[in-house]
Structure 1
């Protein structure tokens, strides 16, 4: 019996009797055979159907009006010899049946024994299909014997190509897995370094702030020299943490359209003095270079950083080449540091030095990894390049050959349309009160009491009235008690409510209060989600010079203090 769900058997039935046709169909249906019967009566209809050769079996009566079964058999053997032909007749004698079999009929069934018909049909179809398969196999064997050498060669070539493709896929998978591991490693190290930088910036804020306070009280020269050394060490520590923030892509950038050719050309004297007289400098600058959208100050540091690395890799008489070019990249990156497809303004720094071995190349962007002697480098140079390029929206590629030299290419996003640079706001004298009479009131919120003490001391000495809070929740409670505050100075990273969460509550309940974020690092994506999160409302720790006082004065000078009785309804809250 056929399997459940099998395709129906297509039957071409040559039968002039309606009654016999119905009886035959009923017998087959009772047997459970899935079938489709195409019945024909005339010679023309039969010949046309047989010529299409789309049936699985032909069932034919032997005696037909103006037509006979043997003629139908001859037509079938000529037009569709692969289709089995079975006579179903009530008048077919034994002699006639033998004659029909000799002329190519597959079998015969008398109408008195229609119960045999399902088995005959299944057997005939199976034998026909086996015959076709056998003949195909025989033909295939003949073809194989005729062209065995050719087929073996072709198969060998196919196997070689398949093996090559497989090896390529294995290599590509290993490359992708390696790039993914590298990206994950750099991301994990970036998260670690950003946290370390934040903690160090808090410590440096306390150290640098108290050095500044001590300098005012110390009078003897020896103590002043010691304080100078301490301040210099703190500044070096601040530069190191800035490099860590650059690697972890958490530094504060101010991207503007930059003409890299002008930047490189203006650095020639600085680069030459940094190289000394032992290294020759060459510049290859593309005339129609696209402007790049980058932080102008940071790109100068990156070029200088790469030039110094190149100098250290070269002996006396080496050549440093700085090149710029427009680059259109279509291929996907193969390493974590490489840029995605797009249009870039590229600046490359190349040397004729020792090159980078593969085992070193795999780690050059990791912070603190260096092949230099102790004291000759921090291992943060290329890490800073990596972080800057990625945060800017580009990437880095290194081409190197051991014993011949290295080229570091920094890809920076192209500016398609010139962006007008905003006019620089005039600096406000940091210690000048915003208005006469009552000085502005500041709320200083920081969970680190030592950092908070430095901030409050500096701003208190600048003439402001100071209130303090050691957490975000404490700040909210203080404002609920008295909302007469001009400016809230918020630490970004605090346990419980962070600075952004505190600022969101303040903006909702006390919109007249201005906001300034103070941070060792800041998630600028989070800051951008609130109105008070612009770059002019963020200051980095440790403070440099009078940046803190100047930024506070700038914010408080933006608009006059509102009448809190009108804003808060006299109750200190909305």
Structure 2
């Protein structure tokens, strides 16, 4: 028998607690027409709209018991073809969330208990249909609570599943953020350490450059007076002592040169250099310097770029590194010299390393003992050495560092304890127009005020009286007329009084105006005057601003081998120029 619709009321969602406005959808399993009419009468007393579908057979009930099709199932217990427990089993299987209430006249207590055990919501006897209203309300409330509980459990399950995924995603985000934070901390520590090292090396460099300058002034006095005494003494014993003194002064000069290399104040003459040729030509020198027990290998890159460096200084750098490598190899070993074109993109990790750019690299590697981390942190400090007191000055790597930095490059050390060390020196690549030619200085001609037979006039400017005395003595003996000034301001005042000098010899480091500043003022006011520098160190940038960019315009203290006389003679003007008229505070052409 098909489903019998006893009410035809539109039924939508599950009604809210207290029934609400929505109609109830009820499935009735009942074979008695009389009992059905009686039941409908009680349902009409509910005061709530409902739709009642009646079935009487197993097949019809099975088809009707669909999930969500009804809010409530009312069933008789005794049926013609099957009983209520069978219907309950079908309902619990097909629509387990729908409340199932027995309405029967033959439902004993034992049967009722068994029905409740098997999942029935409640039961009402047909003799007590007045209880039907409360039973239906309770059944619907329990069903709603159960549905909400199951929905909450589903939501909780879904939340747990998504929560786990969110936790995993958040964990990954936190791990990534933590890794980035650790990277930033490490990078900051690296940058701070590099900054501290750079500041420490800069401070040491300023100290050593000042010491070297003052020491060179002392050596200039010592060397000059040794030369004077050498011409005055005749006995062999005194000459031998003077030779010893001269040798000590020369060693002091070499020591200050190394200090100036570290502080980046040495005098450099950068030119395009083919490093492959330089390295190859040094093989015999290197072999004799490090001994026959060490094997030398060279790996020279073809088509190597030209390096813009001082050719003499790079040879000293390679020799220094080779000697250091020899000392690191106790017995035998292999010394490898390598050249390569290198383009760096990463920022330097340490103060001595080069900035990003294109470089010509020369590396000296050994198979020695390696360098410990605590020693590696200090290897570029001047006078720091792990060798015995009588084995080196500790200035080798300091000189390499200063030379590389002053040349515009840097140094990088890779080392492994027990395996060896590789020192890579990065030098700037030479461009076609790397070295612009210096404009020659215009000569000064005071022929109108001087006789053609007068000796050249040189103005010596130095704040150190002893150095100035040695300098003027040397130049007087060379046949020049000397004027002196103890400061830059005094030199300018002297020139204002009489600008007719042939050459100005300037000390670089002076209180007040330094030599470069004085030279700039001389160029502005008396552009014809030739200027050269005599200095214990040279700030290359300042000298370039002053116009003295060539090595022939810089005399290194202490004076050696007639260098002062030679460079003074080379820079004296020989070409006549218009005479100068003396005007207070300024010289101008007549």
Q: Same fold (TM over 0.5)?
A: yes
**Displacement of 1:378 after TM fit?**
1.0
- Cα 1:154–1:568 change in 2 (3 A) is same
Q: Which residue of 1 aligns with 2:211?
A: 196
Q: Which residue of 1 aligns with 2:564?
A: 548
Q: Which residue of 1 aligns with 2:358?
A: 343
Q: Which residue of 2 aligns with 1:113?
A: none
- Cα 1:272–1:533 change in 2 (3 A) is closer
Match of 1:410 among 411, 422, 425: 425
- Asked if 1:470 corresponds to 2:512, the answer is no
- Cα 1:572–1:342 change in 2 (3 A) is closer
Match of 2:243 among 214, 228, 231: 228
**Displacement of 1:561 after TM fit?**
4.8
Write the distance in 1 (CA, Å) between the matches of 2:501 and 2:293. 60
Q: Tell me, what secondary structure is at the counterpart of 2:292?
A: helix
Larger-gyration structure (1/2): 2
**Displacement of 1:437 after TM fit?**
1.6
Q: Which residue of 2 aligns with 1:486?
A: 502
Write the distance in 2 (CA, Å) between the matches of 1:497 and 1:337. 32
Q: Which residue of 2 aligns with 1:44?
A: none
Q: Tell me, what secondary structure is at the counterpart of 1:529?
A: helix
Q: Tell me, what secondary structure is at the counterpart of 1:371?
A: coil
* TM, length-normalised to structure 2: 0.68
- Cα 1:229–1:436 change in 2 (3 A) is farther
Match of 2:202 among 169, 187, 191: 187
Write the distance in 2 (CA, Å) between the matches of 1:465 and 1:355. 59
- Asked if 1:352 corresponds to 2:367, the answer is yes
- Cα 1:183–1:572 change in 2 (3 A) is closer
Match of 1:536 among 544, 552, 555: 552
- Cα 1:250–1:312 change in 2 (3 A) is same
Write the distance in 2 (CA, Å) between the matches of 1:388 and 1:374. 25
Write the distance in 1 (CA, Å) between the matches of 2:585 and 2:188. 66
- Asked if 1:506 corresponds to 2:522, the answer is yes
- Cα 1:162–1:201 change in 2 (3 A) is same
The alignment's C-alpha RMSD in Å is 2.5
Q: Tell me, what secondary structure is at the counterpart of 2:545?
A: coil
Q: 2:345–2:356: 8 Å Cα contact kept in structure 1?
A: yes
- Cα 1:218–1:256 change in 2 (3 A) is same
1:198-226 CA distances to partner (integer Å, 9 max, x unpaired)? 10110111111111111111211111111
Alignment of 1:358-507 (within 5 A): 358-417=373-432, 437-507=453-523
- Cα 1:193–1:139 change in 2 (3 A) is farther
Q: Tell me, what secondary structure is at the counterpart of 2:180?
A: helix
Write the distance in 1 (CA, Å) between the matches of 2:469 and 2:154. 96
Q: Which residue of 1 aligns with 2:31?
A: none
Alignment of 1:59-98 (within 5 A): none
Deviates more, 1:372-381 or 1:398-407: 372-381
Write the distance in 1 (CA, Å) between the matches of 2:309 and 2:541. 18
**Displacement of 1:375 after TM fit?**
1.8
* TM, length-normalised to structure 1: 0.70
Match of 1:302 among 314, 317, 341: 317
Write the distance in 2 (CA, Å) between the matches of 1:483 and 1:419. 36
**Displacement of 1:573 after TM fit?**
3.6
Match of 1:333 among 343, 348, 370: 348
Q: Tell me, what secondary structure is at the counterpart of 2:265?
A: coil
- Cα 1:419–1:341 change in 2 (3 A) is closer
Q: 2:496–2:584: 8 Å Cα contact kept in structure 1?
A: no
Q: Which residue of 1 aligns with 2:223?
A: 208
Q: Tell me, what secondary structure is at the counterpart of 1:323?
A: strand
- Cα 1:512–1:146 change in 2 (3 A) is closer
Q: Tell me, what secondary structure is at the counterpart of 2:531?
A: strand
Match of 1:249 among 264, 279, 284: 264
Write the distance in 2 (CA, Å) between the matches of 1:410 and 1:220. 50
Match of 2:537 among 508, 516, 521: 521
**Displacement of 1:563 after TM fit?**
5.4
- Number of residue pairs matched? 426
- Cα 1:524–1:278 change in 2 (3 A) is same
**Displacement of 1:254 after TM fit?**
0.9
**Displacement of 1:170 after TM fit?**
1.3
Q: Which residue of 1 aligns with 2:304?
A: 289
Instruction: List runs of 5+ in structure 1 lacking aligned partners.
Output: 1-136, 426-434
**Displacement of 1:476 after TM fit?**
2.5
